[in-house]
Amino acid sequence: MKKFAKISAVLAAMAIAFSFAGCSDGSSGGGSDSSEITGGETSGGGTSGGSGEISKDFVKIPAVSITGSESWTPESEVFVSKRRLEIKSFWMSDHEVTQAEWKDVMGSTPSYMANVDGNPDNNPVNEVSWYDALVYCNKRSIKEGLTSCYKIKDSTDPDKWGKVPTKSDDTWNAVTCDWKANGYRLPTDAEWEWAARGGENYKYAGSDDIDDVAWYAKYEYEYDKGTREVKRKKPHGYVLYDMSGNVWEWCWDWWRENIPSDTPAEGVPSGSLRSLRGGSWCNYDNICSVDSRGIKAPSEGGNITGFRVVRSCE
């Protein structure tokens, strides 16, 4: 019954989202931990460059060994019983990729419904597909003299990949990731959830009171609003912002409802939908918890879909 209720919540959120303001997908999920945790480390560095320096708005997320015997509050669908994971330390942006950051790399922004308040340049970019996010990551890596993580058609140069697909594409789906490269990439589902919990046991990223930490649809009329400027709500324990709400965030993983206990840290090897995390401005509070998981085809964008980037520490 519990699993059925979660599936129903996913479908209900998707149905509601499509009914208002062109919103797309939603989800429900599982949670915070009781295992060994240490605080995140903020970077004192400047802008990234060929030397591999880390921008000051990146936070070093601590490594963790997950044994599969932990108790998570709220319950997790990713850190499942008997699933053993070694999550290495990594750097995560303390905010979702903004329109200004996107334009700096890509030249223009696809976003709309993104000027509710503040400067739209500081709102998270939206209307980006999973494929779009791959292109951005490698282009930003190249721009900053870093080693690109993603390879398609035996190339790390997105200009050689061809036009970004508007429907699921086998060639793009066969993308590989160099996990030791120092460039930008999407977090794995496990990395995202470990970071989102922030060393705390809250329902949302940083609080049990969603109004402290998230932009979400508190009332029905708020479905007609949009994204908000990043870093205006309270950060959580690792000093990350907007891990709950604002925009859904793409992760690397193929989505699977029941994750097998032997699934590696990079997720299941195949699928048709990619994982989204965290909820959005268009979702009610229960969809924005740290355990929340969304789903969408990698070719689809949507005005509630964005992402944040990470970099490996190796």
Tell me the pLDDT band of 225, cut-offs 50, 70 and 90. Answer: confident
pLDDT of residue 199: 94
Position 24 pLDDT exceeds 90: no
Tell me the pLDDT band of 25, cut-offs 50, 70 and 90. Answer: very low
- What contacts 24+ positions apart, CB below 8 Å, involve 35-41? 35/64, 35/66, 35/67, 35/70, 36/64, 36/65, 37/62, 37/64, 37/199, 38/62, 38/199, 39/199, 39/237, 39/238, 40/195, 40/198, 40/199, 40/237, 40/238, 40/239, 40/240
Position 126 pLDDT exceeds 80: yes
- Report whether the peptide linkage leading into residue 298 is cis, meaning its omega lies within 30 degrees of zero: no
pLDDT of residue 51: 52
Tell me the pLDDT band of 222, cut-offs 50, 70 and 90. Answer: low
Considering 1-15, 29-43, 112-126, 248-262, the range whose residues carry the highest mean pLDDT is: 248-262
Mean pLDDT of 204-217: 97
Tell me the pLDDT band of 53, cut-offs 50, 70 and 90. Answer: confident
Tell me the pLDDT band of 1, cut-offs 50, 70 and 90. Answer: very low
pLDDT of residue 252: 98
Position 18 pLDDT exceeds 70: no
Tell me the pLDDT band of 218, cut-offs 50, 70 and 90. Answer: confident
pTM of the model: 0.87
pLDDT of residue 223: 62
pLDDT of residue 221: 64
| Beta-bridge partners for 66 | 85
Mean pLDDT of 276-292: 95
Are residues 268 and 89 in contact, defined by beta-carbon separation less than 8 angstroms? Answer: no
Position 31 pLDDT exceeds 50: no
Q: For 146-184, how does the pLDDT look when each residue is reduced to its tens digit (9 = 90+)?
A: 999 999 999 999 999 999 999 999 999 999 999 999 999
Q: Which fold has domain 2-312?
A: paralog of FGE (formylglycine-generating enzyme) (3.90.1580)
Position 195 pLDDT exceeds 50: yes
Higher pLDDT, 115 or 99: 99
Tell me the pLDDT band of 28, cut-offs 50, 70 and 90. Answer: very low
Q: For 159-168, how does the pLDDT look when each residue is reduced to its tens digit (9 = 90+)?
A: 999 999 999 9
pLDDT of residue 23: 53
Tell me the pLDDT band of 7, cut-offs 50, 70 and 90. Answer: very low
Higher pLDDT, 114 or 291: 291
pLDDT of residue 212: 97
Position 215 pLDDT exceeds 90: yes
The DSSP annotation for 165-217 comes to PSS--HHHHT-EE-TT-SSEEPPPHHHHHHHHHTTS--SBTTBSSHHHH----
Average pLDDT, the chain: 86
CA distance 268 to 276: 15
pLDDT of residue 40: 59
pLDDT of residue 41: 66
259-286: b or e for each residue (b if 16 or more CB lie within 10 Å)? beeebebebeeeeebbbbbbbbbbbbbb
pLDDT of residue 17: 43
